Homo-oligomer: A and B are copies of this chain.
């Protein structure tokens, strides 16, 4: 029962299935056939809608980053003070649907994929740069010249917490993770103030 306009539907289904499969199996070595089956179609169709497995993976990354970007933007509009803005970014970094086992594992896989797939590397570098500059911009009123250094540490801490949770069997606790970053933030700001 083929309908028209399947393309976006199929692509979305494939991207979703890709993230899930990578999260579930823990590796980008999941088969295109596995992904396609999980998305309810043949592997041939997956190749039809994306050019290659690499394309699928890259689009899955892009999708996660898009979701994350939306989350951050959404949180920022509600924030009033610089401090709230920094916290908004931190909270968004550990918010659903990105901070569950599946996405965390997929995310770490993408970091490794970046060693092999230049587009993945580019996406991650953009993400890193944005996160750092975003944090630094809002930190400046709070920590002045140290803003960028603090931003780098907070960003690394965030990614480190992702890495940590990719090893844990339990569902990651976003609130606790965010609280850790917040604590680090408080410490850094206190030091600045003194």
Q: What residues of chain B lie closer than 8 Å to A191, measured between beta carbons?
A: 186-187, 190-191
Q: What residues make up the interface of A, taking CB atoms closer than 8 Å to B? A: 25-27, 29, 105, 108-109, 111-112, 114-116, 121, 124-125, 128, 149, 152-153, 155-161, 163-164, 166-167, 180, 183-184, 186-188, 190-191, 194
Closest residue of B by beta carbon distance from A192: B187
Q: List 28 interface pairs A-B (beta carbons < 8 Å), by A numbering.
A: A26-B115, A27-B112, A27-B116, A29-B29, A105-B115, A111-B167, A112-B112, A121-B167, A124-B167, A125-B167, A128-B164, A149-B180, A149-B183, A153-B157, A155-B164, A156-B160, A156-B161, A156-B180, A158-B160, A159-B164, A160-B161, A184-B184, A184-B187, A187-B188, A187-B190, A187-B191, A190-B191, A190-B194
Q: B194 to A112, Cβ gap below 8 A?
A: no
Contact (Cβ within 8 A) B166 A163: no
Query: This chain: how many copies in the complex?
Result: 4
The docked-state distance in angstroms from the alpha carbon of A188 to that of B112 is: 31
Closest 3 CB pairs of A and B: A26-B115, A160-B160, A156-B160
Chain B residues whose C-beta falls within 8 Å of the C-beta of A180 in the assembled complex: 149, 152-153, 156
Q: Give CA–CA (A111, B27) in the complex, Å.
A: 11
Q: Is the CB of A153 within 8 A of B115?
A: no
A167, chain B: closest CB distance, angstroms:
6
Q: Cβ of B26 and Cβ of A112 under 8 Å apart?
A: yes
